[in-house]
Amino acid sequence: MERVLIKINGIVQGVGFRPFIHKLVRYYRLTGYIKNTSSGVELELEGERPELERFVADVPEKAPKLAVIESVEAQYGLPVIGFTDFEIRKSKTEEKRNTLISPDICICDDCLKELLTPSDRRYHYPFINCTNCGPRFTIIKDIPYDRAKTSMSEFPMCPDCDREYHDIEDRRYHAQPDACHVCGPHVYFKAGDTEITGDDEAIGEARRRLMAGQIIAVKGLGGMHLACLPEKAEVLRKRKQRDEKPFAVMCRDVECVRRFCEVSDEEEKILTGFRRPIVLLKKKKGSDGLRYVSENQYVGVMLPYTPMHYLLFGDDIDILIMTSANLSETPIMFRNDEALVKLENIADGFLLHNREIQTRCDDSLCWVLDGGEYFARRSRGYVPFPIKLKGDEMPELLALGAEQKASFCVSKENYVFPCQHIGDLKNLETYEHYVSQIEHFKRLFDINPVAVACDLHPDYMSTSYAHELNIPVYEVQHHHAHMASCMADNDLDGEVIGLVWDGTGLGTDNTAWGAECLVGGYRDFEHFGSIRKIPLIGGDKATEDLTRVAYALLGDGDNEFYEAMLRDNINCPLSSGMGRLFDGAAAILGIKEHAGYEGQGAVLLEACADGSTVDAYEIAFDGNNFDWRPMIGAMREEKDKSVGAARFMNTLIEMAVRQCVMAREHSGLDRVVLSGGSFQNMYIMNRLPQKLRKEGFDVYHHRRVSCNDEGISLGQLCVLRYRLK
Ligand code: ZN
Ligand code: ZN
Ligand code: FE
């Protein structure tokens, strides 16, 4: 017999870790105690060496899914004290730190099996869940996290559920949302005057109508979806007035996804993982059925993630459009009464239930890059799990993000908690949602910010909100925040070269920046280079009418009006936006002239590019700034738009490499971080990092937050952290 001291570092609190340890201790018949520490948990156990070693080996291997284990250190051979049982010791840090709340995660294999087993007491129960799965974040009203403070407070547990809840050997031990047919929530179907109750009956009615081609609103975990067969995409588009934006689809299983899309092993892993994001997959050539779902080469695909989804698909539905139910830029709907009124003219029927959603949470959306998520939107399944930062503990801080893809985050100790998808703050309902979520996060994590970071742009709603708070406000330049965000995302310290490409952000010189090469760190930066400025004819009008950008890039044409505006500099603000360069290129190549949604020109240009074209146009620099004029000159002669699109992006890639080489000569730095919404371009992301590495750079892209403006709040917070030091 001997004693071992085990220190486990990482995010192991609030994720079902102690019941897991309890079971493992019982399994190996060990004695001792566990307690929380500031960086994880600490255990002392007594037993024989082989059992102790197997215990230590099991910890990282069998830990609960949400636990993030950074290290397990074991000190064997300590003298026996004589523990008689196993106890959970309270520590001083306990009360203060019990703040981690799990995201909503998809139904686990055990629950899925029970759901489909006729003899199980939860057979076909649409809300089956356990400690390892089910709703969390979206049903919490307040802390501490227990049933009384969730949507489940209305559903007292029946004796059977209660017994499971209190049995540490049971999978439902301390599972707050646990329920069954007897005691839990139920589904119902509504269409006009028809109301159908009974879980199977209601879901069956929705299934029949979907298969008959109807559009059905389906209440999910974090909000309502509009569901229909892919062949009804055009009908849905018309009713939803969603002109050209792609829809996401849900497929019954991976085999089904493969019929429509290319799926790599890495993509399959993320697609089937317990967080269940929408994964952007390449459509299979000839999968024509999806043409009306998405106009580009990618389609967003997810797998069923709630028990209700599985019952809805049954044995015979393969694929459904599943798009967020919202009206023009307002937040996703999440209340039954609101949906019934506002979706009346869109949905033919409603599949609803009586478990309230407390907090909206849209589906997450990502590509898979280098084996991990590359987010366009980090939301359901990930939020509100924190990002752990290196270094000293932080003060409690708030960072407010930008505007169009609004986000905020709060910090506590070494954790940063980024919010879920919010939307565009110019919409009043979205702004109200944003403000209420800031309050919600402050309460959930018991955070009282001592300072706030916001964008430099005085007209952003987030900036004016910062000034209402009566705490010190720190303004952070937009692209600096992007750079800092990517540094923090990769645990980088010191100084880097930041290649930040996006649509627009206010620069320190009061002009619109957008394709910037910065040099610096969290605290400060130097603006190293950019691209030649583009005059935007008519200002914001040019972001929709791409021919205006094309006109400005080409510098001539037969529009006297534009000619005069340019010549006399009337409402032609200058921009170095990479998004604008893409817009202009899309128009010049004849790919797209009017953008139906933000970034459409860039999306279609990427989709159009011929992957086998490796050459580029001529690259010119004016000092450290890329001069696009020779490139544009060559593009107007281009015969084939697919070749032109590829050459255009190849030119940008080459240009970026040269600019980074110049920045390295200037600064001596050889680490490059890539951030900004223009890097939501997989053509570039599959080529630029390799080319930079060939030149001897270490290259980093986003992994845990989005590269677009949603990721900005993390960067703002890190800049603020260093400015306060
Ligand atoms: Zn489960
Ligand atoms: Zn029950
Ligand atoms: Fe940006």
- 290 secondary structure, DSSP code: G
Which numbered ligand comes closest to the C-alpha of 307? 1
Is 402:300 a contact under the CB 8 Å cutoff? no
Is 679:501 a contact under the CB 8 Å cutoff? yes
Most distant CA atoms of the chain, gap in Å: 93
Ligand 3 center from residue 676 Cα (angstroms): 5
Which numbered ligand comes closest to the C-alpha of 709? 3
Ligand 1 center from residue 218 Cα (angstroms): 22
Ligand 1 center from residue 355 Cα (angstroms): 18
Which residues neighbour 289 within 8 Å (Cβ) at sequence distance 6 or greater?
230, 231, 260
Which numbered ligand comes closest to the C-alpha of 130? 1
Which numbered ligand comes closest to the C-alpha of 157? 2
Which numbered ligand comes closest to the C-alpha of 504? 3
End-to-end CA distance of the chain: 49
Residue 39 has what pLDDT?
Answer: 77
Is 720:505 a contact under the CB 8 Å cutoff? no
Ligand 3 center from residue 697 Cα (angstroms): 24
Q: Mapping DSSP to helix (H, G, I), strand (E, B) and coil, where does residue 211 land?
A: helix
Residue 95 has what pLDDT?
Answer: 55
Ligand 3 center from residue 479 Cα (angstroms): 7
pTM of the predicted model, to two decimals? 0.95
Q: How confident is the model over 679-690, as pLDDT tens digits?
A: 999 999 999 999
Q: Which of 709, 702, 717 shows the shortest CA–CA distance to 366? A: 702
Which numbered ligand comes closest to the C-alpha of 107? 1
Ligand 2 center from residue 124 Cα (angstroms): 14
Residue 98 has what pLDDT?
Answer: 56
Residue 92 has what pLDDT?
Answer: 63
Detail the DSSP E strand segments found in 580-709: 620-622, 625-627, 671-675, 698-700
Ligand 2 center from residue 63 Cα (angstroms): 27
What does pLDDT average to in each consecutive run of 10 residues of the chain (725 residues)? 94 80 93 86 95 96 89 96 90 60 94 98 97 94 86 97 91 91 98 97 98 98 97 94 89 96 98 98 86 93 98 96 91 97 97 97 98 98 94 95 97 94 96 98 95 98 97 98 98 98 96 97 98 96 95 90 93 96 98 94 97 97 98 96 98 98 98 98 98 98 98 98 94
Query: What is the C-alpha separation between 525 and 492, in angstroms, rounded?
Result: 15
Ligand 3 center from residue 416 Cα (angstroms): 20
Ligand 1 center from residue 43 Cα (angstroms): 27
Ligand 3 center from residue 284 Cα (angstroms): 32
Is 537:544 a contact under the CB 8 Å cutoff? no
Ligand 1 center from residue 239 Cα (angstroms): 37
* HSE-up (13 A, CA, CB side) for residue 260: 27
Residue 15 has what pLDDT?
Answer: 78
Ligand 2 center from residue 198 Cα (angstroms): 16
Q: Are strands 534-535 and 574-575 parallel, antiparallel or unpaired?
A: antiparallel
Q: Which of 66, 8, 75, 79 shows the shortest CA–CA distance to 37? A: 8
Q: Are strands 31-37 and 512-520 parallel, antiparallel or unpaired?
A: unpaired
Ligand 3 center from residue 505 Cα (angstroms): 6
Q: How far is CA 611 from the centre of its chain?
A: 28
Ligand 2 center from residue 186 Cα (angstroms): 12
Q: What DSSP element (H or E) covers 686? A: none
Ligand 1 center from residue 126 Cα (angstroms): 12
Q: How confident is the model over 47-79, as pLDDT tens digits?
A: 999 999 999 999 999 998 888 898 999 999 999
Residue 118 has what pLDDT?
Answer: 98
Ligand 2 center from residue 99 Cα (angstroms): 28
Is 330:263 a contact under the CB 8 Å cutoff? no
Which numbered ligand comes closest to the C-alpha of 480? 3
Is 134:180 a contact under the CB 8 Å cutoff? no
Q: Are strands 319-324 and 496-506 parallel, antiparallel or unpaired?
A: unpaired
Residue in this structure with the two tokens 């989709």, named with its chain if needed: 607
Which numbered ligand comes closest to the C-alpha of 305? 1
Ligand 2 center from residue 205 Cα (angstroms): 25
Q: Mapping DSSP to helix (H, G, I), strand (E, B) and coil, where does residue 259 land?
A: helix
Ligand 2 center from residue 112 Cα (angstroms): 17
Ligand 2 center from residue 15 Cα (angstroms): 23
Residue 450 has what pLDDT?
Answer: 98
Ligand 1 center from residue 107 Cα (angstroms): 5
Q: Which of 237, 345, 346, 250 shows the shortest CA–CA distance to 292? A: 237
Q: Which of 107, 31, 428, 498 shows the shortest CA–CA distance to 272? A: 107
Is 619:658 a contact under the CB 8 Å cutoff? yes
Ligand 1 center from residue 236 Cα (angstroms): 34
Residue in this structure with the two tokens 């340019």, named with its chain if needed: 566
